[in-house]
Amino acid sequence: MPGQSAVRFLLGNQPREIADISPTMTVLEYLRQIERMTGTKEGCAEGDCGACTVAIAECKDGSLDYKACNACIMFVPFLHGKQLITVEHLKNHKSGRLHPAQQLMVDQHGSQCGFCTPGFVMSLFAMYHNRCDTSRTAIDDALAGNLCRCTGYAPIVRAAKQLLHMPVDDEFSANEQSTLVALSQLHAPERGNEQPDNASLHLQHTGGSYHAPQTLPELGRILQENPASCIVAGATDVGLWVTKERRELRALVYTGAVKKMRQITITDRAIEIGAAATVAEAMETLSEYYPSLEELFRRYGSVQVRNLATIGGNVANGSPIGDSLPALVALNAELKISRANASRTVSAEDFFIDYGQQDIAPGEFLERIDIPLPVAGQEFRIYKVSKRFHQDISAVCGAYSVVQDSGALHTVRVCYGGMAAIPRRASRCEQVLAGAGLTDDSIEQAKLALREDFAPISDFRGSAEYRTVVAGNLLERFANDLTGKQIPSVWEVQYA
Amino acid sequence: MLDRKKDTLTPAIVHQPIAHDSAARHVSGDAVYIDDIPEPRELLHIWPALSPHAAATITAMDTEAVMHQPGVVAVVDANSVPGHNDCSPTIGDDPVFAEGRVHFAGQVLFAAAAESELQARLACRAAAIEYEIEQPILTIEQALAQESYVLPSSTISRGDPEQAIEDSPHQIEGTIRCGGQDHFYLEGQAAMAVPQEGGDMVVYSSTQHPSEVQMLVAKVLDRPLNSITVEVRRMGGAFGGKETQAAQWACIAAIVADRTARPAKLRLDRDIDMLATGKRHDFLFNYRVGFGHDGRISGLAVEMASRCGYSADLSMPINDRALLHIDNAYYLDNVTATTKLCRTNTVSNTAFRGFGGPQGMFCIERIMDEIACHLQKDPLAVRRRNYYGKRTRNIAPYGMKITDFILHELTQELVESSDYRTRRQRIRRMNKSDSTILRGISLTPVKFGISFTMTHLNQASALVHVYTDGSIHLNHGGTEMGQGLFIKVAQVVADEFSVPLERVKITETNTSRVPNTSATAASSGSDVNGMAAKAAARTIKNRLAEVAARSFGVNQREVLFHKESVIAGRSQVSFQELVGMAHRARVPLSATGHYKTPKINWDRQNMTGHPFYYFGYGAAVSEVALDCLTGEYRMTRIDILHDAGQSLNPAVDLGQIEGGFVQGAGWLTSEELWWDDRGALRTHAPSTYKIPASGDVPEAFNVEIWQRGRNVEKTIYRSKAIGEPPLMLCISVFSAISDAISSVSDYRQLPVIDAPATPERVLMAIESMRLRGA
């Protein structure tokens, strides 16, 4: 196949070209076992604790874009064309001086046992380059993907706050141009490659094959030829199949290099999200049209997870507790399912058939998610409930969309996650609301209807009874929100 | 002129907020943990195979196929152990590998050693194992019903509690539970064994207790202690979880290394770590209390049953410490408290920061809240009413006189600095008007006994070398797990010689340099190792002073060590010069030091004595806001005042206080260990087991070291132990949550809620309170 046959990236400033590597080797394994760089740590191997955080830099609109990522569930071929920066790269090479992100952690006594520290340093480094406001909320959001068991976080937050007050002036910003040049040279044609423009990556290894096509037709063709392939986008779920279950994935097809599938487009009727667009890329646009999603996205994984995870992957895997799914069903999103030379459309609602079963056949792939633009009078709310605010999986997630028309409600769509084997609409509840509107009485009726709509299971995220009670109470919250009984969020209230 | 008296007495380095000795290495990735040690040639990687069943007889175990998997070099099981197949720290009931039976889901059956970790891991799947599955005992209630215990009960009693309760104007009976807790150290358990000539073994282990690892490796290999060396530079967190729980992995690595004559490494991944290693004990408390109109307790009877898991481990001293902290800060005239050490088919529970103390305190603090609610008083008033007295009411239930009780003063300061009274009134008003957000506030105190209850453990040794260039090599038996022990002891040694800190090389802990050590545990690290190191340094310093006195013709008492110099009368030499002089005079520049904690004694038979050298104190005010539609909640403000004595290092101590509090808050709020009905732990990774994240800690987190702190006992520079006591400040969070829920009943009832107070438990408590009110 035309394209490149080795993963080419920068390790710090050093170009690397790796052809002989299992495509499911994680970046963490690569660093620790092949490069013998042990600064990056494994704390959980599931992208949750952040001890393995590294920064990935790539060219975006002519400058470098830095992203904190979990090395433990990121496959090495994902590095293709990028710069991998680890904690070992941060010290100034000439002077040996610590990077501000490191020095402030020392000054503020931000490390105790030190094992989570490299991960925090890398999150701080990415934060330093990306900037965010210096509020505690913004810092907590940015650090949600890093767990520390020793410090109680206070000194780390202090370090973050000071760092954000410093101008961006480090070796990396000083060398930005040379890094950009080095990155562009990674894509220089390989010897004997007849199509110099084709940067598609194709790896063959005893551990399995890996294809990263760049166009939709190429993707369709590869899947047609290898229908049993595992499609992967961010690997924030697939990565765990490897690290946790040691599933053998003989053939991986990566969608993230298909430029069309990363696009986010607003048409006159819908927000079209390419299935390989990351959550981080999509969240701003989606929150703009549906502001209730903003809080959901703050609670959706962590920065590291959102930088790799895709809405498409969330949909395609069809977990009953996938964070974006209740919203997509409630908003009546349409999914564009494609294969070589053909496409079809299915509603998000119909896509989820049963636990682990989605309406997608071998050879097909999810190309795009179309979320209708809000219509006049439409109100949409989504509420997630979990044990911890940040980076937790919901016990219950309720999404509500209605169109208000002089007191009456129509187009009522209510969807819950965590209440059934799939994200599912609450049809009886919807009927009650559509008929009776949002009165105290109708909410009580709708709550009762919910009990008929769902028979949730009990597990470690919540008992059936809790889920049922919360599902009803969220409906009450929705009614409160719409009827102007503005109730402060527990996440925002100040102390007395 | 030099003010001799002042300068020799005022330490220059001790009491300073100096950064952790490894801070610069932590932030640059240069700090080496066990898995980071450059791998020796021929290294084998080990993966353990775990039992999926909680209680079963192994009818057949065939690992032949495992041996034939790619890369596999050895498979070890109970039959491969050259010595004793046991790694118990106490009574010999922890097999390294299961023998005939499995006692919990997660128990190690065998281990595969291969050229790579992945090969070893995949190979384990090839085993054919048959079980006869039995009905497991999983809960405390089941164990109590079947009288299944790991060890006999203990009781502390004084006076006539039954009569006192009966005679009281008010009585309450109650039940409450607190959950267990996984340590969730970020670095999982790890060990690497490297065979030496003559069958000796060097073991690198992430352990708080190198001497015990040495002993247990010797036991499984059937070798004398002097052939085993254990070394640890640092741990990536431990919190009690690497006191006894590190040994099994070191033993397996040593067995493989011994058998194959190749180095072998065993590093647990997060899931196996959480499935196979012990946790904090969960407890079930049943209590009856009698009290007066003023809230003062006249009689108390408590039964405290803990889930010990399948074996004894440290359950006896942990349950003893729970008993010894049932009083917390309160004088109990008539009291009886009994432990029940339940044997269950779950992982054997173990040490965790506080070591039973937090659980005992959790119970008495609940009782304080109950009394206050019953009498419609401010819980703080009830607490203070029951505080130990200074001159009277100052004998603990176990007979020890409390002579350092400072909570009256400390509490008053905290009440003022936290604005407790005004905020409490404001919260009560707000709760009346806002029906969706409920707020609560609580102040709880901590009094925590310092010393191992087992008296002989309260000792430490150190070994100090001074080299001819004046650089100093510091060794002691304590281990570094992030708590800042190494920097504190180095500060002590630097001040002893009056040299800058940079002259003191902090080294890894190694059993061949300092032998027969106690675990770095019970918050004792800097107390005992600081003293031992000071003694060693003092010995060398005295020898140096003698050399100076002789050389310069002055009295030895006139020799003064000051700012890297030594002043002897009118003469002055640098420290380095004097060291050279001493060496040329053939004076030894190496010395050991030893320390044993004075004053302590403990009669376990009768549960009486003076088990603690002194107490650590502190208090916290926690405020929470909760959402009564979902049960989700947040800490909105925390105020802490904690006594560190005269802190050896205020920066380190502040970190211990803040971190301990947050870790404790996790225990009582979001950290839930959830077993299914077959006895499998289903929350065994951070995706399912939720420790606090940055966002759970409020911006208003006001933590202060008590400025008036000074240890009444002659501890190292009058400092106080700091590792464990602050964890228990977290009980104020649980109490504040109860307070918030109580507002649903207009404070007429206290909610029925167990810890951890997950959003689910909070919502259910609100719902049931509403039902009762309706």
Q: How far is B539 from chain A (nearest CA, A)?
A: 32
Domain end residue (candidates: A115, A145, A169): A169
Same domain, B527 and B614: no
Q: Do B186 and A496 touch (CB under 8 A)?
A: no
Q: Which residues of chain B from 483 to 512 reach within 8 Å of chain A, CB to CB?
A: 483-484
CB contact under 8 A, B29 and A44: no
* Best mutation target, A113, A151, A475, to test chain B (most B CBs within 10 A): A113
Segment A207-220 shows an average pLDDT of 95
On whether the CB atoms of residues A99 and A127 are closer than 8 A, the answer is no
The answer to whether residues B469 and B435 belong to one domain is: no
Indicate whether A362 belongs to any domain. Answer: no
| Average pLDDT of the segment spanning B123-140 | 98
Domain count of chain A? 3
> Nearest CA to A397 among A413, A380, A414, A383?
A383
List, in sequence order, the alpha helices (H) in B58-139: 64-67, 117-123
How big is the CA angle at B324 (ends B321 and B328), to the nearest 5 degrees? 115
Q: Which chain B residues touch A38 with a CB distance below 8 Å? A: 29, 32, 35-36
pLDDT tens readout for residues A370-397: 999 999 999 999 999 999 999 999 999 9
Nearest CA-CA distance, residue B667 and chain A, Å: 12
Same domain for B203 and B61: yes
- Judged against a pLDDT cut of 80, whether residue B635 lies above it is answered with yes
Shared-domain flag, residues B480 and B392: no
* Tally of residues, chain A: 496
Scanning the structure block, which residue is given the tokens 């012990």? B278
Q: What is the mean pLDDT of residues A483-494?
A: 86
CATH code assigned at A222: 3.10.20.30
Q: Are B440 and B372 in contact (CB under 8 A)?
A: no
* Residue B664 covered by a domain: yes
Where does a domain end: A123, A151, A169? Answer: A169
Domain's final residue, options B213, B235, B267: B267
By the 8 A CB rule, do A117 and A110 touch? yes
Domain match, B591 and B550 both: yes
Residue with tokens 């991944």: B269
> What's the domain count of chain B?
3
Nearest Cβ partner of A473 from B121, B630, B655?
A: B630
Q: How confident is the model at residue A487 (pLDDT cuts 50, 70, 90)?
A: confident
Query: CB distance from B704 to chain A under 8 Å?
Result: no
| Averaged pLDDT of chain B | 97
Q: Report the amino acid identity of residue A208.
A: G
B494 and B574 share one domain: yes
Give the end of a domain, one of B542, B573, B596. Answer: B596
Residue B647 within a domain: yes
Chain B residues whose CB is inside 8 A of the A144 CB are 693-695
Peptide bond connecting B89 to the previous residue in cis, omega within 30 degrees of 0 = no
Nearest to A112 among B659, B696, B701 (CB): B659
Residues A231 and A160 in one domain: no
Residue from A99, A150, A244, A394 to probe the interface with B (highest B Cβ count within 10 Å):
A150
Both B12 and B90 in a single domain? no
**Whether residue B463 sits in one domain with residue B449:** no
- Domain hosting A193: range is 7-88+175-254
Q: What is the pLDDT of residue B2?
A: 43
What digits encode the pLDDT tens for the residues A59-70?
A: 999 999 999 999
Contact A495 B767 (CB under 8 A): no
Same domain, A243 and A390: no
Nearest to B423 among A86, A387, A496 (CB): A496
Does residue A159 share a domain with residue A11?
no
From the list B212, B623, B672, B724, the catalytic residue is B724
Tell whether A358 is covered by a domain: no
Beta bridge partners of A252: A210, A230
In a domain, A17, yes or no: yes
pLDDT at A437: 85
Residue A134 has pLDDT above 90, yes or no: yes
Q: Which of residues 404-423 of B touch A (CB under 8 A)?
A: 423
Domain CATH code at residue A162 = 1.10.150.120
Going by their DSSP bridges, the two strands A7-11 and A83-85 should be labelled as parallel
Which of B270, B266, B226 has the alpha carbon at shortest distance from B246?
A: B266
Instruction: Round the average pLDDT of chain A to a whole number and report it.
Output: 95
Q: Tell me: do B408 and B523 sit in the same domain.
A: no
Note whether A84 and A228 are same-domain residues: yes
Instruction: Say how far apart CA B766 and CA B770 lie, in whole Å.
Output: 6
Express each pLDDT in A463-483 by its tens digit.
999 999 999 999 999 999 998
Is A181 in the same domain as A82? Answer: yes
B115 labelled catalytic: no
**What is the residue type of B701?**
F
- Report the alpha-carbon distance of residue A83 to residue B49 in Å, rounded: 38
In this structure, is residue A282 part of a structural domain? no
What are B76-88's pLDDT values in tens digits? Answer: 999 999 999 999 9
Q: Is the pLDDT score of B550 beyond 80?
A: yes
Amino acid identity at B25: R
Q: Are A41 and A118 in contact (CB under 8 A)?
A: yes
Quick check: B119 contacting A, CB < 8 Å?
no
Q: Of the candidates A43, A109, A488, which has its C-beta nearest B655's C-beta?
A: A109
Could you tell me the CATH number of the domain that includes residue A448?
Answer: 3.30.390.50
**A chain contacts of residue B269, beta-carbon cutoff 8 Å:** 42, 45
Q: Do A142 and A187 fall into the same domain? A: no
Residue B405 counted as domain residue: yes
| One domain, residues A393 and A473 | yes
In Å, how far are B94, B112, B243 from B193, measured between CA atoms? 21, 15, 18
B144 domain-assigned? no
Residues B442 and B472 in one domain: no
A189 confidence band (pLDDT: 50, 70, 90): low
Residues B347, B382 share a domain? yes
Mean pLDDT calculated for residue range B108-116:
98
Return the CATH number at B581. 3.30.365.10
pLDDT tens, A255-312? 999 999 999 999 999 999 999 999 999 999 999 999 999 999 999 999 999 999 999 9
Interface of B with A in 591-620 (CB under 8 A): none
Q: What is the pLDDT of residues B637-648, one digit of tens each?
A: 999 999 999 999
Restricting to B residues 259-318, those with a Cβ less than 8 Å away from any Cβ of A are: 269-271
Whether A321 maps to a domain, the answer reads: no
Q: Which residues contact B74 (CB under 8 A, 6 or more apart)?
A: B44, B67, B80, B112, B113, B256, B259, B260
**The domain boundary residue, chosen from A138, A169, A200:** A169
> What residue numbers bound the domain in which B745 lies?
283-453+604-773
- Is residue B1 predicted with pLDDT exceeding 60? no
A191 pLDDT band, cuts 50/70/90, is low
Residues A161 and A186 in one domain: no
Q: How far is A308 from chain B (nearest CA, A)?
A: 17
B149 within some domain? no
Tokens 């010069």 appear where? Answer: B577
ipTM of the complex: 0.97
Percent of all residues in chain A with a pLDDT value above 70, rounded to a whole number: 98
Cα B231 to Cα B242: distance, rounded to the nearest angstrom: 14
Task: Say yes or no: A473 and A397 in one domain.
Answer: yes
pLDDT in tens, A16-32: 999 999 999 999 999 99
